[in-house]
Chain A
Amino acid sequence: MSDVIIVGAGVVGAACAYYAARAGLDVTVLDRGPVAGGTTGAGEGNVLVSDKEPGPELDLAVLSSRLWRELAETSGGFEYEPKGGLVVAETPAIQERLVELAAEQGLPHDVVPAGGLRALEPHLAEGLAGGVHYPQDAQVQPMLAAARLLRHGADSFGHGALKLRLGVTVTGFVRSGDRVTGVRTDDGDMLAGAVVNAAGTWGGELAALAGVSLPVLPRRGFILVTEPLPEPLVRHKVYTAAYVTDVASDSAGLQTSAVVEGTPAGTVLIGASRERVGFDRTTSLPVLSRLAAQAVALFPALGAVRAIRSYCGFRPYCPDHLPVIGADPRAPGLHHACGHEGAGIGLAPATGHLLAQVLTGARPDLDLHPFRPDRFGSGEHR
């Protein structure tokens, strides 16, 4: 028996496990698939502060950004790249808004005038109105990040403190009265002092097994990957201002905005699309076409570069676009760490760190009230 069972071996589950083990807890991580087989395996690895509006998510992102840097030093092995982000504006009016937003965020940043863009990104298109550079933005290889956090957590904090059980599906919860005391799985019951729902896009389904409602829904996103380039063509994470508004949008229809970045493997990743189509994995060529058009508009030199593959994933989002982090008062013993939408990689360490604080009875470094699981109105089933 473990102190904590964490359901989900994506990056959020891995970070929860890592910080819980670091706090001295015995942890078992369960996943029905492999490590990082869900949304983590379909992400770009964004560790962004720049795209967050001032408020609780930005606070979470700032904490997480610091923790990723620490993890890269202590654990490493997941291609942490503190490359910085560059948000570009197509018109002077948008540039004005970007500058205002940057001031409100209170983050380290440099306002880049139109004439200064090429110094940061030599291949950017002409005619852009300027941008804002955020040195804190970074990137990790998300699958490796999840796997390395699990490995490092298992190796570093005492024998047997972190166990990984893959290919095990949770089918229900073990209860003692109202209290969640473990999970039922296709491989038998497992008991623990607490259970953490880190099931990402499937977090709502898992919560339902415990009789509580958690409105986590999938938002599909495609990413295009280019041929490996001999010389880097894109140095930062570069995106257009539209990305910020799309992230927070409630529209069910297709939205695309250009997000372009290079990787250590030499490829260029091109996002980002958002649509609500359930769990449909069918590739949509029109979406890929739009992503390509936007990327070429931003970096004309990309026009001659070939796309060699694309992939899609399902971002777990909640109606208010904030994650769910903390104990669930409706099902004592159950905790949630899911619903991070497109920011799960970036927000994972802060989520794990704060949840470990909750689990060990420490006072969380951030107020978790905005992330509380029961904030969506009366969804209790029992």
Chain B
Amino acid sequence: MTGPSPSPAIYDLAVVGGGPAGVAGALTAALRGLRVALVDSGARLGGQYFRHRGVPGEPPTEGFARFARQVRALTERAEVLTGRQVWAVTREDDGFTAHCLGGTAVRCRRLLIATGAHDRPLPFPGWDLPGVLTAGGAQALLKGQGVVAGDRVVVAGTGPFLLPVAAGLAAAGARIPGVYEANGGLGLARHPLLALGKAGEAARHLAAFARHRVPYRTRHAVVAAHGDRELEAVTVARLDRDWNVLDTRRVPCDTLATGYGFVPQIDLGVQLGCATRPDADGTPVLRADAAQRTTVPGVWAAGEPTGVGGRHLSELEGRIAGLSAAADHDDGPGPPELLLRRRARQRAFAAALLAAYPVKDGWRGWLRDDTLVCRCEEVPLARIREARDLGATDARSVKLLSRAGMGWCQGRICGHPVACLAGGDPAAPRRPIAQPVTLAALAELTLEEPHD
């Protein structure tokens, strides 16, 4: 096996994930004197929110200066391991080991799971055509790679995340034929962001839309993508309140950025046996107490894995987790009331946003028999229906009979829609192998033999 050999050190706290939650948690604990390691899969810290490349002329992401300060302070006080994907976490007698692809093993007494979330796309005819990207994918290209996803980019889905994606693309020179929000009948002027005290943020996006002549339409969605080998046009539908199609028109475009909320990445917590709960929208998240402790002693979670709530909530949860882990280490004070109160306000805001942008059942009507639901195993809707007809009564048995979710991505992309089509909320994903790992690396793991 290539790569560095496992570090002999045992950290007081290992943090997996270098976004706002992980960095805040790691820094907070390090400032209290804990020996901290932070592991992140990216080449740079920032997670999905802060993808700043530092290219001159690029407008900075809101809050980036603060994050950059946190990263600088952290780097001076903790071990920051970037470019390492954790594929499994195991429990040891004296703590945990995070196993990274490439062979690094990070030993720790305490673990903070801050692994963020990824986009939740919905299937529709043609959604696997090249040129169709997730909203987060388009954002990652722009902010992380300096690449504008396309010349004519339609943005569609639901949730406030569509706004900065569209505004960023427009500012970078893309033409935006439309931003289509499947929920809400109120229009941008009465956008929930305004009602929830985020007037500045919403107003900035609104101004950007006006400046670049970007039409923003609520109760509209992209319900089909067209093209021979690449995207050439989309069908935009006007929707009723349950997302049933009222009428449609064709909009030429070369790129579509689409997303219907987020799926928290909780694989590592589930591996360790942390209990989960359904979030307001039914998505499984890790159960965490007031101090961000999971149900497994020694394991904390912060940010999206405990419920989608954006960067402000993530940072607060990270700080609270860091303080709680520090208190566990030094018997000092835990998180103060004032942080908990701020978190409560942010959570109320997050809950309101989730309630304002639900996924409505009507999307199922956008699918045809031959529409792929599982992209990896190329499972069309007809095979999902057939599985149900053969006696599959839940998402797991639909998967076993149809192969939906059995491929490369292990149901990360299709898990939510498949669960909906099977007639329930998605169950907590069991992924004992959270990232593909070579059999040679798996074979060379030095582990204690299991005992009863």
Contact = CB atoms under 8 A, between A and B. Distances in A.
Interface in B426-447: 430-433, 436-440, 442-445, 447
Interface residues of A, number: 46
B432 A288 contact: yes
Contacts, number: 127
A1 interface: no
B403 A289 contact: no
A33 interface: yes
Contact of B273 (A282, A286, A295): A282
A296 B440 contact: yes
30 contacts: A34-B391, A35-B401, A36-B400, A36-B401, A41-B397, A144-B390, A147-B387, A147-B391, A150-B391, A225-B406, A226-B439, A227-B408, A228-B407, A254-B450, A270-B439, A284-B450, A285-B88, A285-B432, A286-B447, A287-B450, A292-B439, A292-B442, A292-B443, A296-B440, A303-B438, A304-B440, A305-B439, A309-B410, A309-B433, A310-B432
A37 interface: yes
Given A148-B390, A286-B447, A309-B432, A41 B400 contact: yes
A308 B390 contact: no
A47 interface: no
Given A36-B400, A289-B447, A164 B391 contact: yes
A112 B304 CA distance: 56
Nearest to A275: B450
B94 interface: no
B394 interface: yes
A36 B443 contact: no
Nearest to B392: A34
A48 interface: no
Contacts of B61: none
A9 B273 CA distance: 29
Nearest to A286: B447
Interface in B405-434: 406-408, 410, 430-433
Interface string A208-242: 00000000000000001111100000000000000
A289 B403 CA distance: 25
B403 A147 contact: no
Nearest to B400: A143
A109 interface: no
A228 B410 CA distance: 12
Contact of B438 (A228, A288, A289, A305): A305
B397 A37 contact: yes
Contacts of A284: 450
Nearest to A288: B442
Given A143-B401, A150-B391, A166-B391, A285 B90 contact: yes
Nearest to A287: B450
B10 to A, nearest CB: 19
Nearest to B436: A306
A144 B401 contact: yes
A35 B439 contact: no
Nearest to A142: B400
B445 A308 contact: no
A228 B392 CA distance: 24
Contact of B397 (A33, A226, A285, A309): A33
Interface in B182-201: none
Interface size class of B (residues with CB under 8 A): 35 or more
Interface in A127-163: 143-144, 147-148, 150-151
Given A284-B450, A286-B449, A307 B397 contact: no
Contact of A306 (B393, B400, B432, B439): B439
Contacts of B400: 36-37, 41, 143
B391 A289 contact: no
Nearest to A276: B452
A219 to B, nearest CB: 14
B401 A147 contact: yes
Interface in B162-220: none
Contact of B393 (A33, A288, A292): A33
Contacts of A36: 391, 397, 400-401
A227 B436 contact: yes
B448 A289 contact: no
A272 B390 CA distance: 29
B393 to A, nearest CB: 4
Contacts of A41: 396-397, 400
B128 interface: no
Contacts of B407: 228, 308
Interface in A236-290: 254, 265, 270, 277, 282-289
Interface in B83-119: 88, 90, 99
Given A41-B400, A227-B408, A289-B445, A303 B440 contact: yes
A289 B443 contact: yes
Interface in B346-397: 377, 387, 390-394, 396-397
A141 to B, nearest CB: 9
Contact of A286 (B387, B408, B448): B448
Contact of A9 (B90, B271, B387, B391): B391
Contacts of B448: 286
A308 B433 contact: yes
Contacts of A9: 391
Nearest to A294: B443
Contacts of A307: 433, 436-439, 442
A47 to B, nearest CB: 18
B397 A167 contact: no
A303 B441 CA distance: 8
B410 A283 contact: no
Top-7 shortest CB links A-B? A35-B391, A303-B440, A34-B397, A283-B432, A293-B443, A306-B436, A147-B390
Nearest to A270: B439
A9 B390 CA distance: 11
B383 to A, nearest CB: 11
A227 B409 CA distance: 10
A302 interface: yes
A285 B445 contact: yes
B414 to A, nearest CB: 14
Given A9-B391, A33-B393, A309-B433, A304 B438 contact: yes
A309 B433 CA distance: 6
A309 B387 CA distance: 22
Contacts of B273: 282
Nearest to B445: A289
A308 B443 contact: no
B428 to A, nearest CB: 12
Given A166-B391, A292-B442, A296-B440, A308 B410 contact: yes
A284 B452 CA distance: 11
Contact of A35 (B90, B397, B444, B449): B397
Contacts of B433: 288, 307-310
Nearest to A77: B390
Nearest to A226: B439
B336 to A, nearest CB: 36
Interface in A289-348: 289, 292-293, 295-296, 302-310
Interface in A12-67: 33-37, 41
Nearest to A40: B400
A288 B403 CA distance: 22
Contacts of B401: 35-36, 143-144, 147
